[in-house]
Amino acid sequence: MVKFIDDEKEKYGVESICRILPIAPSTYYRIKDEQDNPEKQSHRKQSDKHLMAQIKQIWQASGCRYGIRKV
């Protein structure tokens, strides 16, 4: 949704788009800020990103065969 707003904001404006879509302008700006500055992400989000990389590595090492229980 953020990508769509980015693409169309010059034409319609962020607030106009957010009125139509189910997203508050403050939410758009917060997500955009987190994308531009990863250090502003919550500790949980940073931790999840790190764990996801490890999980993906284990899954790929298994030949993409292991399911949730084995990983």
CA distances, 21 to each of 2, 6, 24, 45 (Å): 11, 13, 8, 25
Each residue's pLDDT tens digit, 26-47: 999 999 999 888 888 889 988 9
pTM over 0.75: no
Predicted confidence (pLDDT) at residue 25 exceeds the cutoff of 90: yes
Average pLDDT, the chain: 92
Contact assessment for residue 40 and residue 33, using Cβ atoms and an 8 Å cutoff: yes
Q: 52 pLDDT band (50/70/90 cuts)?
A: very high
5 CB-near residues (< 8 Å, 6+ apart): 14, 17, 18, 21, 23, 28
The structural domains of the chain, with segments of one domain joined by +, span 1-40, 42-71
pLDDT above 90 for 21: yes
